Amino acid sequence: MGKFSTYRYLELKDDSPTPHINVRSRTIKQPRRLKKIFILLVIAVLFVTYFLGLFAGQSQWLDGIAKSLGYQSVNHYAVIIDAGSSGSRVLAYKFRVPFTVFGQANLDLVEEYFEQSKPGLSSYADDPAKGADTIVQLIKKAEFLIPAEKRRTTPLIVRATAGLRLLPKDKAHQLLVEVSKAISTLGYDVGPNGVEIMDGSDEGIFIWYTLNLLHNLMDGETMAALDLGGGSTQITYQLGDGDSKLFPVSDQYVVPAGGNNITLYTHSYLNLGLLAARYGVFSMEANNNTTTEFTSVCVDPIVQKEPWTYGNKQYVISGARRQGLKREAVYNLCHNAVVKYLKRTMDWEPARAPRGSVAAMSYFYDVAADAGIIDVMKGGTVSLSQYRTSAVRACSASNVEQPWACIDLVYVLTLLQDGYKMKDNDPVSLFKKVNGHEVSWALGLAYTTVMNRIAVMVEV
């Protein structure tokens, strides 16, 4: 599949593919709405803010006054399907346009619906019609959020990620065809590019967008976003002055952030998602890509012939004999195997750690929660040394209920340390939700899609 422009979503017309270029520059044209009945109110407020020195906060203040006086904001909706390698998710959004006079208008996220199903779409490679039906059922669960009269103008976008990237092209294509056919009858606005395999850079940039939108950081110093899926992982962060020469031009994107354009670095690593890496290490240890039985130093010997499904295929995993090795020695054996796999799989190795504060999502969060490093509901901030302590403990524990705890913790630590060049005491903020909203690339995609549709309507 050809690589299309990541920020075609930010263009005013997003229904035609744009050729890939190394560095992209896109600007969201912001809508301006001014109701005539509020003109006199606006003039009065401007005088008040000028004299009281409150001008900097006028947007939120004016919106609050406008709402109290009966201003009815227009609502906009979007439905996004995240067809990931380990499961499919629907994220439906309700936005409102706040009342603004000066500056760039934004969208307020009013309500969100999230639901997921397993297994992922790629698991239906041999039964694409059944896979398409799993997507339809998710969309139907979100119908309550979208008024019937709004569905015809509500964008419905399906994006498959690493699971489909790893399938043979003909099987992936047939899945997309069946999904397109199935959702075309649901009454939503499905564009020509409504169902696609998502480029890895898209995934990284939109999760970065979501993270910083939810933290209201788009006008200031933004956070680095690390995302760890089942099949791939992405790293995305803002570059500083003079940083461009340190990174491949193909990994740099000029994007709108607040009132400015900034340059992001983003890279997606296929086969370095948690599940793909787990399989990769097992397969490398066996030195056999065809066997379905693995023995690993990263699995406790008490685990024998443990069934595991990956890539729609059944495997059995057993722990290697340890012959009285101490816990540090077991950890080191596993770490050596994981480092070997990581180094041979990474197609680009950065020279330094991410710039700025670092946030991590998805399996970074789940692995830490399963190990008890963070609260499973609230998340938290951890260090690499905490991951290491838990990894050493897990690699010497006979825990049949969590047979993959050792390899998963070692892999997360190795990716952060050896792959992303972070140090032991570097803090990593782990998020699943921010202010009640799911931290998913879907929000970044929904936000930019709706903003550009509004901009088109305003111009017309």
- Residues classed as catalytic: 203
Residue 78, phi then psi, degrees to nearest 5:
-155, 145
- Strand ranges across the sheet with 224-228: 252-257, 260-270, 232-238, 224-228, 358-362, 427-430, 380-383
* b/e sequence 128-166, b meaning 16+ C-beta within 10 Å: beebbebbeebbeebbebbeeeebeebbbbbbbbbbbbb
SS (H, E, C) the chain: CCCECHHHHHCCCCCCCCECCCCCECCCCCCCCCCHHHHHHHHHHHHHHHHHCCHHHHHHHHHHHHHHCCCCCCEEEEEEEEECCCCEEEEEEEEECCCCCCCCCCCEEEEEEEEEECCCHHHHCCCHHHHHHHHHHHHHHCHHHCCHHHHHHCEEEEEECHHHHCCCHHHHHHHHHHHHHHHCCCCCECCCCCEEECCHHHHHHHHHHHHHHHCCCCCCCCCEEEEECCCEEEEEEECCCCCHHHCCHHHEEEEEECCEEEEEEEEEEECCCHHHHHHHHHHHHHCCCCCCEEEECCCCCCCCCEEEEECCEEEEEEECCCCCCCHHHHHHHHHHHHHHHHHHHCCCCCCCCCCCCEEEEEHHHHHHHHCCCCECCCEEEEEHHHHHHHHHHHHCCCCCCCCCHHHHHHHHHHHHHHHCCCCCCCEEEECCEECCEECCHHHHHHHHHHHHHHHHHHHC
**In the beta sheet, which residues pair with residue 76?**
95
What is d(CA 81, CA 176) in angstroms, rounded to the nearest whole number?
12
